Chain A
Amino acid sequence: MAINREQAVAAASRGASTRVAQVIAARFKVGDRIRIRNINPVGHTRVPRYIRGKVATIERAYGVFIFPDTHAAQAGEKPQHLYAARFSARELWGEQANPLDNVVVDVWDDYVDPI
């Protein structure tokens, strides 16, 4: 059944959050030092290459969200914690970067190892 114009406009203004109301113990908290796993999946993933293997600090903890890697493969929502990880630009790009600059990237729990 096709949605009509009222339903479409209402759905657009409502949106569809991928936040999951599930209580899961968080492995990390704001301020923790972490390393991004060096993974190279052939399917969909939201961990960009430029942060793999790099060290970061948890900047924000967002709570539990659907995991895109499995969701894109119709392999389930695999709800897990999502964080904003702060990388120094020098960690990512070396000495050419300004020592003050940062790049903050959202990372799911499955992308992260403790240090």
Chain B
Amino acid sequence: MNGIHDTGGMHGLGPLVVEQDEPVFHHEWERRVFGLFLPIAAMGTFNLDEFRHAIERMGASGYLNTSYYEHWLHAFETLLVEKGVLQQTELAARCAQIAQETH
């Protein structure tokens, strides 16, 4: 698809920002998202090309306004719901429960 992910040759996608001595992860949630990739892939529910396409389908503004590991999280949620492994309603309910417990 001719999506925003196909960046090659575009102008205006912001300044190049290079962080010195950058850590591997910036937040604990990034660690968890990264660590989930292989175990979820090992479930055999989707392949890497479907995973990439799920990121491409997230839409231009969402793609540009979220970070790399948020892209991964979006793809996990999208594909696991589409494939029937999880229900959107149970994800939403669990989010609401966690928000209440930790607010």
Contacts and interface: CB of A to CB of B under 8 A. Distances in A.
Task: Identify the interface centre among B47, B48, B49, B50: most chain A CB within 10 Å of its CB.
Answer: B49
Interface residues of B, number: 15
B42 A43 contact: no
A74 B47 CA distance: 9
Nearest to A9: B38
Interface string A12-32: 100000100000000000000
Q: Chain A contact residues (Cβ within 8 angstroms of B): what range? A: 20 to 34
Given A3-B42, A42-B1, A68 B9 contact: no
B1 A50 contact: no
Contacts of A40: 2
Contacts of B50: 44, 71-72, 74
A62 interface: no
B53 interface: yes
Contacts of B77: none
A43 B9 contact: no
B38 A8 contact: yes
Contacts of A93: 9
B84 interface: no
A2 B9 contact: no
Nearest to A92: B9
Interface of B: 1-2, 6, 8-9, 38-39, 42, 47-50, 52-53, 56
21 contacts: A2-B39, A3-B38, A3-B39, A8-B38, A11-B42, A42-B1, A44-B49, A44-B50, A44-B53, A45-B1, A48-B6, A48-B8, A49-B6, A49-B8, A49-B9, A50-B9, A72-B49, A72-B50, A74-B50, A92-B9, A93-B9
